Amino acid sequence: MKLACTSSMVSGASITEKANIIREWGYEGIAVFVEFKEWNDKMYQEVLGLEKKTGVKPCEFVFGDEIYGHLMDADKDIRKKSREMYKLAAQVCAEIGAVTELEFSYGPQNPLPLFNPYVKMSESQEEEFLEMYREVAEPLEGTQGTMLLEGINRYESLFMNSIKDCKDVVDKVGMKNVGVLADFFHMSIEEADFKESILYAGSSIKHVHLGDNNRLLPGYGMTDWKTCFQALKDIKYNGFLNLECSTCGIPEETLPKTAEFLKKMI
């Protein structure tokens, strides 16, 4: 297993500068999060040549925008724009061999599902979702890139909150370049047993987001990381463990220490 850090957690004038910084801190990969409106050819070329220039693998690539998480929006125009953005991210991942992700929806749920968790899609909703998934993942076929289904907690997404649910849906997509993204912050809300859920999802897990139960850095909360990493070892997971959480203060101090902590754990 290799360590990575999300670009937005690090100060730097460019993605290249951020990659060089985290390499010195003990990270081998970087998750590149880019505002869609800021994307341009210069940045595109920078991402394509990042690993060769810095030795740091761009292991994940995601666009951020107000249309993020609207793949299934009732407004057809918004849905179309959202899907085009996700497909462009997939094209970038196809070129650099990275992962990107999708969800049924993303954003605060209203009303909050306080006492009705684990809502299941209807048959028609599931079929529409699978059709969309195949559409946005199509640019990845025949490449090393993947489009992963991320389990998002019930307060931020209506469906597929658990990685168990995600694994069941991924199995129905019928494509090689898909899988499950296991995010430990969301899992701390939705999974009854970390180990059981990881073993159930098994080889479908292609990427991991690290954040403690309070979405702080690993070790700053109550998550039993020893058990979690052992479960990942049990399924022979050898991909990236990417920090996607608060830096808990000054990154120059906390992120190198977190790299040391994680390396001892894994």
Phi and psi (nearest 5°) for 146?
-140, 150
| Banded pLDDT at 115 (limits 50, 70, 90) | confident
Handedness of CA 119, 125, 127, 128 (dihedral sign): negative
Q: What is the CATH number of the domain that holds 93?
A: 3.20.20.150
Computed over every residue of the chain, the mean pLDDT equals: 96
Contact, 241 vs 262, CB < 8 A? yes
Range of 58's domain?
A: 2-107+116-264
Query: What's the predicted TM-score (pTM) here?
Result: 0.96
Asked whether the predicted pLDDT for residue 92 surpasses 80, the reply is yes
Beta bridge partners of 149: 102, 180
Of 7-11, 87-91, 104-108, 140-144, the one with minimum mean pLDDT is 104-108
pLDDT one-digit tens code per residue, 249-258: 999 999 999 9
Cα(18)–Cα(40) distance, integer angstroms: 18
Domains contained in the chain, number: 1
